[in-house]
Structure 1
Amino acid sequence: MAIAPVSNPPIPQVTLVLAMSLDGKIADAQRGAARFSAAADLAHLEEKVAAADGVLFGGGTLRAYGTTLSVRSPDLLAQRRQRRQRDQPVQIVWSPSGNLDPQLRYFQQPVPRGLVTTAAGAQRWAETDLFDTVWVVPEAQTQPWDWPWVLAQFKQGGIHHLALLGGGRLTAELLGCRCVHEIFMTVCPLILGGATAPSPVEGAGFLAAVAPRLQLLSHRVVADEVFLHYRVRPASPEVGGGS
């Protein structure tokens, strides 16, 4: 049942977690799975996933990897149980078309799965139980996508902390709606280049006057990787977001 939108609905704490090359690419020009980060970054990513109630990523990201990152560390699992979270956060894919291959390994992983899609996209999955939860977004909330409305549905479903793992279009949409609260960015020691290689934030981009502004909270170096943690500053009242 659709829930009527409300103004400024409460949404989860949204944490963007990404790794990129020194020249700001999240994959090479072939747009395949990016596996260039080191073990320290993978442990860092698992830690951020383990802190969340839900994980959100785009259909393109799922198609590239075929799988998602589950929590495996015994220490992180114990911490989740102490916080009275279930062992695994719900792994949510955003796919307006719903056109996902049910043979992807993601669908065999022992994690709760969610889908954010349109009515037409949901129809593809009506006869299966491969998704534990399907959020069907009314057409009026998809032109453009009303992410505060969508995130409010997550919040009502018990997702209070959401990890956002890309890709670039999804990240651009949530940043444009001022729905990202903090960013963890790992800078990896390689240069990918290429005009078609994806960046952390795709789409039309932001004009400098209205671009999201960040506050650096911490930084650390592990071997050749740099780990950055930013807070996204609230938008000035007279400045609106756009992408």
Structure 2
Amino acid sequence: MTIKRPQTVAILAITVDGKIADNQRHPARFGSDTDKAHLEKQISLVDGVLFGAATLAAYQTTLLIKNPELLADRQQQKKPLQPINIVVSGSGKINPNLRFFSQEVPRWLLTTMPGSIVAKKSNHQAFEKTIIADSKDLKKIDFIKAFLVLKELGLNKVAILGGGELLASLLEVNLIDELWLTICPLILGGTTSPTPVEGLGFSYDQAKRLQLLTVESIDQEIFLHYRLHS
């Protein structure tokens, strides 16, 4: 059954050996200016961007759309200049002193009922809206329920920016429609270095199948665009 939810696209930059950060989990800044422009372009096409609290803690900021042409396109479509930035945190534990909270972007929180109480105490009015989507045990987010709410709130397309635990959770319930993958020319290695999809993983029979839509090589990077099979 097709649910009424936003169209989703995950956008990631990875190393040749499939890592999204080093073994110290430092912010991944190995993408080129071309990759950054590509990410900015993709973000300009959506109504909201979704990322985990750990990803926010690592980077401390979100990527702003600054390209005048992209801003003009959004303005022409009567969209806010910046998409809604949605932080995902089941616990609600988010450092209120991050630079993210001083950036001029609309901010929402996706959490659980216990997480909303924690966030309210620590972040005060940092988030314009809090979406509560509890699973049965109240500790995990019910993403199917959450995405129904996002659609009801007017978000038709959402970009997923990481991290690996978030992508694993969304893949598990088939909530990723497309994937943009930039392969960057370096190797990090390490069994503890994070990968794009964390969690318990999938068996071969449960593996998520992809259809390659486009492939483009620019300088030393390869840009891959996939559609996930339903």
Please report the TM-score for the alignment, with normalisation by the length of structure 1.
0.90
How far apart are 1:138 and its partner, in Å? 2.9
How far apart are 1:126 and its partner, in Å? 2.8
- Do the aligned residues in 2 keep the contact of 1:67 with 1:105 (CA within 8 Å)? yes
CA distance in 1, matches of 2:163, 2:155: 20
How far apart are 1:136 and its partner, in Å? 1.4
CA RMSD of aligned residues (A): 1.4
Letter of the aligned partner of 1:17 in structure 2?
I
> Which residue is equivalent to 1:210?
206
How far apart are 1:125 and its partner, in Å? 3.4
How far apart are 1:101 and its partner, in Å? 0.7
- Do the aligned residues in 2 keep the contact of 1:9 with 1:149 (CA within 8 Å)? no
Please report the TM-score for the alignment, with normalisation by the length of structure 2.
0.95
Gaps of 5+ in 1: 1-6, 235-243
Matches within 5 A, 1:70-81: 70-81=64-75
CA distance in 2, matches of 1:231, 1:83: 25
Matches within 5 A, 1:159-178: 159-178=155-174
Matches within 5 A, 1:127-146: 128-140=124-136, 145-146=141-142
- Do the aligned residues in 2 keep the contact of 1:8 with 1:148 (CA within 8 Å)? no
Please point out which of 8, 18, 25 is paired with 2:12.
Answer: 18
> Which residue is equivalent to 1:221?
217
Aligned length: 228
Q: What do the CA deviations read for 1:138-178 (whole angstroms, capped 9, x no partner)?
A: 34275654211111110001111000001000001111111
Please point out which of 5, 9, 13 is paired with 2:3.
Answer: 9
Q: What do the CA deviations read for 1:40-95 (whole angstroms, capped 9, x no partner)?
A: 00000001111110000001100100011111111001111112111110001101
1:64 aligns with 2:58: yes
* SS of equivalent to 2:44: helix
* SS of equivalent to 1:175: helix
> Which residue is equivalent to 2:151?
155
- Do the aligned residues in 1 keep the contact of 2:9 with 2:160 (CA within 8 Å)? yes
Q: What do the CA deviations read for 1:100-148 (whole angstroms, capped 9, x no partner)?
A: 1111000000000011111121113336211011101234275654211
CA distance in 1, matches of 2:2, 2:53: 27
- Do the aligned residues in 1 keep the contact of 2:112 with 2:139 (CA within 8 Å)? no
CA distance in 1, matches of 2:134, 2:49: 22
- Do the aligned residues in 1 keep the contact of 2:114 with 2:138 (CA within 8 Å)? no
Higher deviation after alignment, 174-183 or 142-151: 142-151
Gaps of 5+ in 2: none
* SS of equivalent to 2:226: strand
* SS of equivalent to 1:91: strand
CA distance in 2, matches of 1:144, 1:65: 24
CA distance 1:143–1:209, change in 2 (3 Å): farther
> Which residue is equivalent to 1:42?
36
Letter of the aligned partner of 1:97 in structure 2?
S
Higher deviation after alignment, 29-38 or 129-138: 129-138
Letter of the aligned partner of 1:210 in structure 2?
Q
